[in-house]
Amino acid sequence: MRKQSIIILTLLATVAQTLGALDWYSSSPGDCWHREKAVKWSQIPQAQAITISTQHAQQIDGLGGTFNELGWDALCCLDESQRQEVMRQLFAPSECNFTYCRLPIGASDFAMNYYSLNDVADDYEMVNFSIARDRHILLRYVKAAQQFQPTLKFWASPWSPPAWMKVSNHYAGCYDNDKPNHNGMPRALEQELPTTGIKMMNGVLNAYALYFAKYVQAYTAEGVPIEAICIQNEPCSTQKYASCTWRPEDMAYFVGNFLGPRFEHDGIKTDIYFGTINRDNPAFTRVALDDPKAKKYWRGVGFQWDGKGAIPYINKEYPHLKMMHTEAECGNGSNDWGAAEHTWWQMSHYLRNGAVVFSYWNMVLDQHGTSPWGWKQNSLITIDTEQKTVTYHPEFYLMKHLCHSVKPGAYRLVTPEDNEQILAFENPDGQVTVLLVNRTDQAQTLSLNWQGRYLNLQLKAHSFNTIIL
């Protein structure tokens, strides 16, 4: 009897300790990542309560941002200690804790210029395939991150195949109306929608499948294993930078008859995703997912931009596939609180609709924040390359609120479907993390119900909050 009493008292003490131990971090304009005073559990709610279920939703693969050439170029303007500190802030588990990041295959719109990993025309055997340029730029960026996050995972996508594989023989998808002749694309070669920009020829498709296989093998040899690939960045759009349109039928044909069999033949375990889809019509995605030959190879779907309108349907209709958020909407360089609140909406929308990955776009840019094609965009961090100063923007702290305490393997916990201001997760070790946002102009009183006990919180106006139970 005495032994049983000791066991019961020990369990009660453990429960009390668990319920009493919590950290609360808040960020509001001018006061970011502030540790709030301790709050106590109560038996009585002081406001209408939001209940966090113990029911598991999807399991999180990881969270992070995107490596681009212009980011590393900006970082190289800092001295070694400054650069190390930026990378520590992004990747160290004690800080932002990015765990799963995106890589471009060849040029993205934030590369220094057009390039692919094989620009030798008609090299169907990929004799001239090379990642030499990446070793000098992108991979140095990656290696700097791995110093702080050795288990960092990666997924990758091309913005364009090598130009010689395309019907236009050009990297861009359309004429540059803002700066005529700037991108070298004649108006006569613009791709018409809905058509496919790659040459649908046996030799080209075989070569492109080999291109993907060699990419995965080459990066793995560099200590950068690729967990997944999306076949094409935004296949539904023609852009004045590197881009390529695909009909879903043609993408499925390529995967079912060339890429999937190539990966099987070479023993490549990298997952193949349909994406990154930037169209809100779920019928576009269904065409590829239902293809008889390709369906055995699909492991997931990646969505960005207008794809936010399709993910709620595809997530429900294809529960055997993983959903991925592939790119946060990049704004126009404001880097302000409003941009962060918009990114919260994306974060909440995609994660509540099954995304197992959330990928921010540019982690680092210089003070201009502008691509070679003239689009000024947001970034988590700005480096003034003249003054050698570093600025952390509101979106950096928003990402920290999500990533700092949500580990790979965590499960999202079910929260009210109609409430986009809350997300909750249970980590593999049982730790529970709750994210709350107040996007109004007034402080907000909120009661959080966790297993019949309440946290009565006052959220600052325009604030992001992380509660670690």
Residue 329 burial (CB count, 10 A): 16
* 261 and 303 fall within a common domain: yes
pLDDT, tens only, 391-420: 999 999 999 999 999 999 999 999 999 999
Beta strand 444-450 with 453-459 is antiparallel
pLDDT, tens only, 227-268: 999 999 999 999 999 999 999 999 999 999 999 999 999 999
Does 20 score more than 90 pLDDT? no
Give the C-alpha separation, 320 to 300, whole Å. 8
**Tokens, residue 210:** 């080999």
* 126 and 243 fall within a common domain: yes
Does 97 score more than 80 pLDDT? yes
Give the C-alpha separation, 340 to 366, whole Å. 19
DSSP 43: S
Cis omega before residue 276 (within 30°)?
A: yes
Q: What mean pLDDT, rounded, does the chain reach?
A: 94
Domain encompassing residue 340: 61-405
* 196 and 275 fall within a common domain: yes
* 355 and 458 fall within a common domain: no
Structural domain includes residue 279: yes
**Tokens, residue 131:** 């990642």
Q: What is the model's pLDDT at position 21?
A: 63
In this structure, what CATH number is given to the domain that contains residue 436? 2.60.40.1180
Domain count, the chain: 2
pLDDT, tens only, 325-334: 999 999 999 9
* 359 and 429 fall within a common domain: no
Give the C-alpha separation, 195 to 212, whole Å. 22
Q: What is the model's pLDDT at position 89?
A: 98
Structural domain includes residue 133: yes
* 41 and 92 fall within a common domain: no
In this structure, what CATH number is given to the domain that contains residue 289? 3.20.20.80
* 110 and 259 fall within a common domain: yes
pLDDT, tens only, 271-326: 999 999 999 999 999 999 999 999 999 999 999 999 999 999 999 999 999 999 99
Residue 19: pLDDT band (50, 70, 90) is very low
> Considering the chain, what percentage of its residues have pLDDT values greater than 70?
96
Closest to 461 measured CA to CA, from 357, 337, 350: 337
Closest to 223 measured CA to CA, from 133, 313, 135, 97: 135
Residue type (1 letter), 211? Y
pLDDT, tens only, 430-443: 999 999 999 999 99
With both helix axes pointing from N to C terminus, report the angle between 80-91 and 138-146 in degrees, rounded to the nearest 10.
70
Structural domain includes residue 25: no
* 303 and 210 fall within a common domain: yes
pLDDT, tens only, 113-149: 999 999 999 999 999 999 999 999 999 999 999 999 9
Q: What is the model's pLDDT at position 11?
A: 31
| 21 vs 304: which has the higher pLDDT | 304
SS3 content of the chain, % helix, strand, coil (to 5): 30, 25, 45
pTM flag (> 0.75): yes
Q: What is the model's pLDDT at position 14?
A: 36
Does 15 score more than 90 pLDDT? no
Structural domain includes residue 361: yes
Give the C-alpha separation, 343 to 345, whole Å. 5
Beta strand 153-158 with 100-105 is parallel
Q: What is the model's pLDDT at position 180?
A: 85
Closest to 122 measured CA to CA, from 203, 39, 19, 16: 203
Give the bridge partners for 167, in sequence order.
Answer: none
Give the C-alpha separation, 95 to 254, whole Å. 41
pLDDT, tens only, 342-385: 999 999 999 999 999 999 999 999 999 999 999 999 999 999 99
* 243 and 358 fall within a common domain: yes
Q: What is the model's pLDDT at position 18?
A: 41
Residue 6: pLDDT band (50, 70, 90) is very low
Give the C-alpha separation, 312 to 293, whole Å. 25
pLDDT, tens only, 416-432: 999 999 999 999 999 99
Structural domain includes residue 19: no
Last residue of a domain, one of 357, 376, 405: 405
* 151 and 111 fall within a common domain: yes
* 377 and 457 fall within a common domain: no
Structural domain includes residue 15: no
Q: Strand (E) positions, 36-168?
A: 41-42, 49-52, 56-59, 62-66, 100-105, 153-158
* 123 and 94 fall within a common domain: yes
Give the C-alpha separation, 17 to 41, whole Å. 11
pLDDT, tens only, 65-74: 999 999 999 9
Q: What is the model's pLDDT at position 38?
A: 83
Report H helices in 269-310: 282-289
Cis omega before residue 416 (within 30°)?
A: no
Does 40 score more than 80 pLDDT? yes
Give the bridge partners for 184, in sequence order.
Answer: none
Give the C-alpha separation, 176 to 159, whole Å. 17
Does 43 score more than 90 pLDDT? yes
Structural domain includes residue 10: no
Structural domain includes residue 2: no
